[in-house]
Structure 1
Amino acid sequence: MVSVTTLMSLAIATLIVAALPVVLYKKARARFGINPRETILGVAVFALFAMVLERALHGYMLSQASTTAWLTNPAVFVVYGVLTAAFFEETGRYLAMKWLVSREPSALERPGVGLAYGIGHGGAEAWIVGVLVQAQWILYAVLANQGTLDGHFSSAPIEALARIHMVLATLSPVSATIFVVERASAFVFQLGFSALMWQLLRERSRHALGMLIAAHALVGLPAALFQARLIPLLAADAVYLVLGVIVAVALVRYYRAAAQAAL
């Protein structure tokens, strides 16, 4: 059984994460002249590069006995995890922004393009990796409380059903709070990566892609260390909470200054 308090906490947490990109888009659209095409491009790039291409590589690596054994080494797993995520997402971000510039060179005069793209890229991650997954667990919890969960998975392996029950047993208001911290921080980081990439392109930097891959890999390090069971979850989330606040403050200052400069 999952308590009503836990279910309410999970539902509220899911709604908060779902609302983040929508609310920011509505507030920023008029102020920064956001073009919906730029936000949609961010959604498409995340879906293609992170959910299709990156996952295809993971599937291939895990299907090979040699690479699977190689990835059992925690250090190799961490390096592989942070670099692949950084490479695919930042390459997609870079190519998308270069495409925008090729279509509209004058777009470089608008700092809001980075924000528009970031809302799409980060919003897609928030919804695909966060909202939809959490909604699934809420549904499983409701079915478990009704006593019908096992019936819905009658054809599933017993090990898979056992894992579902194990996860449901760990759900709590605390896990809902952790979910908000993780997803909100990830959304802020995507906004930050997008703003930084766009600013570097505006400055005609030749090192934009390399710098963003390195920055993305560093930010992904705590999560990879947790997945490799080298640090506890609370330590990783504490890092993301602090970094998320720092990046959020920096973004507010950056775009506030940009808005004032445009007056």
Structure 2
Amino acid sequence: MDRVPFLSMVFIAISCVVGFAIPVILFIYFRKKKHADISPFFVGFTIFMGMVMTWEASIHRAVFGSTFGVNLKNNIMLYALYGGLMAAAFEEIGRLIAFGFILRKKYRDKNINACMYGAGHGGLEATVILGFTMISNLLLSFTINSGNISDVLGRLSGDNLVQFEASIKTLIMSPSYIFLLGIFERVFTVIIQISLSVLVWFAVKRRKFLFVIAFLLHFAVDAMSIIMAGIHMPAILIELILGIEAALIAVFVRKIYVLES
């Protein structure tokens, strides 16, 4: 059987380390350089775990385990609409809960706490999506290159076998640089998560219309990402577009932050 290129494994390892480093770096930066409170960071962690990893994930499992879900995935526009709405609803409502009911009183005086929350929310997302995924890829790569993958395949069947074979093919056939693109994706996504947190923060404090803007921006970014992936747009182009989106949103939100502070 073919092997996973050594350079791919190096890049997978680098991406894995970065996935776990992102929340640590963000925490240190906002705590030491910007003097944000500690609690908002861990509230961001908790809200992401509760709203996204638990509630949203449970609904996805129920939906995609049904015939309706299968049909939904086969229609790229409906899938993008569903994915964008679900992500925006759970994450932005999570921010409302965090800022409206948990981070009150003493935390409200520091607007930088909105960024600290976003660092926790986006940081955990980076660890889950990039860090743990790359650990899985690295372990699978070692199994492939050791020649023991046939034993694993022999214990699988049905959809699990199909998905596992697809993962193997991706690791073996993909250009090595592909495994570094996840770093850029997570950096851009964290920028967006922090920016959306700032919008909802000021929506709770005084400008309610900013919540609608945050919701629509979140929906648009996620729906666009699903569509681009669905039409098999080159990965580099997808990340470039995501980077442009992140930059535009960050510039817009920075102006809001300065005006409202």
TM-score bracket for the superposition, by shorter chain length: 0.7 to 0.9
Bigger Cα displacement from structure 2, 218-227 vs 110-119: 218-227
- 2:59 counterpart of 1:63: no
Matches within 5 A, 1:163-182: 163-182=166-185
The match for 1:117 is 117
- Kept in 2, the 8 Å contact 1:119–1:191? The answer is yes
The match for 1:243 is 245
Same amino acid, percent of matched pairs: 20
- Kept in 1, the 8 Å contact 2:15–2:134? The answer is no
Q: Which amino acid aligns with 2:195?
A: G
Counterpart-to-counterpart distance in 1, 2:85 and 2:187: 22
Pick from 181, 203, 223 the counterpart of residue 200 of structure 1: 203
Off by >6 Å, runs of 4+ in structure 1:
249-255
Structure 1 250/76 Cα, relative in aligned 2: closer, same or farther at 3 Å?
closer
Offset of residue 67 of structure 1:
5.0
Counterpart-to-counterpart distance in 1, 2:76 and 2:179: 28
Matches within 5 A, 1:137-156: 137-156=137-156
Q: Which amino acid aligns with 2:39?
A: R
Counterpart-to-counterpart distance in 1, 2:76 and 2:150: 35
Offset of residue 252 of structure 1:
7.7
Offset of residue 233 of structure 1:
3.3
Q: Which amino acid aligns with 2:123?
A: G
Offset of residue 149 of structure 1:
2.5
In structure 1, the gaps of 5 or more residues are: none
In structure 2, the gaps of 5 or more residues are: none
Offset of residue 162 of structure 1:
1.9
Offset of residue 200 of structure 1:
2.9
**Superposition RMSD on alpha carbons, in Å?**
2.5
Bigger Cα displacement from structure 2, 237-246 vs 106-115: 237-246
Q: Deviations over 1:142-182 (max 9, x none)?
A: 11111123324531224344223212123433212211111
Offset of residue 192 of structure 1:
1.2
Question: TM-score by structure 1 length?
Answer: 0.86
SS at match of 2:231: coil
The match for 2:222 is 220
How many residue pairs get aligned? The number is: 255
Structure 1 153/47 Cα, relative in aligned 2: closer, same or farther at 3 Å?
farther
